[in-house]
Amino acid sequence: MAYLDHAATTPMLPQALDAYMRTARALGNASSLHGSGRTARRTVEEARERIAEVLGAKPGEVIFTGSGTEADNLAVKGVHWERRTGARNRIVTTAIEHHAVADAVAWLGDHERADVTELPVDKLGRVDTAVLAGLLDEHAAEITVITCMWANNEVGTLQPIEAMAALAAPHGIPVHTDAIQAVGHVPVDFAASGAAALALSGHKLGGPTGTGALLLRRDVKAVPLLHGGGQEREIRSGTLDVPGIAALAEAVLHAARTQQTEAQRLAVLRDDLVARIREAVPDAIYNGDPELRLPGNAHFSFPGCEGDALLMLLDASGVECATGSACSAGIAQPSHVLLAMGAAPDDARSSLRFTLGWPTTKADVDALVAALPEAVRRAKTAGLT
């Protein structure tokens, strides 16, 4: 099997799995005051310090969550609720966000009458900061939060987060970024970015599923989604998953330390994959920014094919990939990201995402290139019947 869907989830790193198993054998609730509880608390705080150190944050800015989706919801809803007033009720987002952000924003608009402004993107999937500057000139006093992903989960395009935060800073508007695809794959420095909040997820970078974190500046307040024991600065109540947190820290630390060399390795594999797909399927359309993109992301549209049919044909040949965001898999709709980039609906439905990760080798690329031409031929034939 050639697994090319690492943007959906990637296997746990050996050191993260070791940390999880070692910690899971120990007893202790990190909120308890006895010896076992203090040992568990020490594990959590050491993990917090390690994550903060490699991501350019302060330990007190790391809030552990149960997923990247929870981190995104906590930032978007929590910051909006904290800052909204009668005159300030506008959320600024983009047209290409992951559903963890897009659906949270839509819920606030539908159920709480938040005003929502979507920033458009160009044909490469990149936000135009000039549009944001114009919006701030007219509506800064109305805006509670700006949210824009660091790296797009479908086409891999990187966004100008630092520039956006710099535009928002004079107005005192916090910027949240969904960096779930970015952390561990491109350089991420929370303080240097100027962002007020940043979401990450364990299973995208070699940690366990069911773990995540929100980096939230100490001067930024957020209304909690969960109420209970008052853990995590009283912003995220709930018994802490000590083994998961230990494994998450191990994964983040490894991914950050090896980011540059691993990005170079994956970029070479990706470029080889892209060149060979273009040769094997000349009418394939390469989507996203060819330069400012994630090193392990290759996203193509295959005109005349249905993406889900092509995916299943490749799956039958032992190659696993995705039609787009894993969270919306199985829904026969064109990608909202490609539509926002100006793609025709048929092209948006014909897309596949190939994403590489730490276990990926040239053999995986070879398997894809070997299976793809016949799969495309059969998919096109099926589309004609």
Catalytic (active-site) positions: 327
Cα angle for residues 100, 106, 107 (degrees, 5° grid): 90
Hey, what are 327's tokens? 């969270």
Q: How many CA atoms lie within 13 A of 96 on its CB side?
A: 32
The 3-state DSSP class for residue 220 equals coil
Hey, what are 245's tokens? 């947190």
Helix, strand, coil in percent for the chain, rounding step 5: 45, 15, 35
Q: Which helix (H) or strand (E) holds 76?
A: helix 68-83
DSSP single-letter state for residue 236? B
What is the rounded end-to-end Cα distance, in angstroms, of the chain? 30
Q: What is the largest CA-CA distance in the chain?
A: 69
DSSP string of 278-314? Answer: HHHSTT-EEES-SSSB-TTEEEEE-TTS-HHHHHHHH
**In contact, 271 and 264? CB cutoff 8 Å:** no
What is the CA 280 to chain-centroid distance, rounded? 30
151 vs 186: CA distance, rounded Å: 9
**Which residue from 225, 208, 168 is spatially nearest to 13, judged by alpha carbons?**
208
Strands (E), 105-196: 115-119, 143-147, 175-178
DSSP single-letter state for residue 170? G
- Using the Cα atoms of residue 102, residue 107, residue 112 and residue 116 in order, give the sign of their dihedral: positive
